[in-house]
Amino acid sequence: MNSVYVLTAVLGAALAFATAAGAYFAFKTSRNTQLIQVYQGTANAWQERAAAYADQIKELQEQNKGQAAEIADLRGQVSMLKDLATGRQVIGQLLEKVEHIQTILEGMSHAGRTDRAS
């Protein structure tokens, strides 16, 4: 009978050890599964943030393009207004005409000198 008790005790100890090992590995696997789910949730949240930031960046780039075009237009208008206020174009044309008249007068004075000399 002793051998039956010994065999029962060994089988009971083996069963207790197997149960403890199974519980440990089940707990560890469950914990790893939970960690993986947490990491996946965190990764998904970061991806959503990145997508939101990408959309926001696109909107800001479009606004920047619109503002750059508006600034270029305003600079052109300011330049035109400066020219109108200072009369730069009229003064430039007037200077050209004066230089042309001066050239003609110099040509006439050279022609008059050659006529007098002869």
How far is residue 59's CA from residue 24's CA, in Å, rounded to a whole number?
Answer: 52
0.85 surpassed by pTM: no
Q: Count of domains in the chain?
A: 2
The verdict on residue 82 lying in a domain is no
Contact yes or no for 82/88 (Cβ under 8 A): yes
Co-location of 68 and 107 in the same domain: no
Contact yes or no for 102/108 (Cβ under 8 A): no
Co-location of 100 and 67 in the same domain: no
Co-location of 105 and 69 in the same domain: no
pLDDT 10s per residue in the chain (118 long)?
A: 688 888 888 888 988 888 888 888 888 887 778 888 888 999 999 999 999 999 999 999 999 999 999 999 999 989 888 877 777 777 788 888 899 999 888 888 776 666 555 5
The verdict on residue 106 lying in a domain is yes
Co-location of 91 and 50 in the same domain: no
The verdict on residue 72 lying in a domain is yes
Full domain range(s) for residue 104: 87-118
Co-location of 6 and 49 in the same domain: yes
The verdict on residue 81 lying in a domain is no
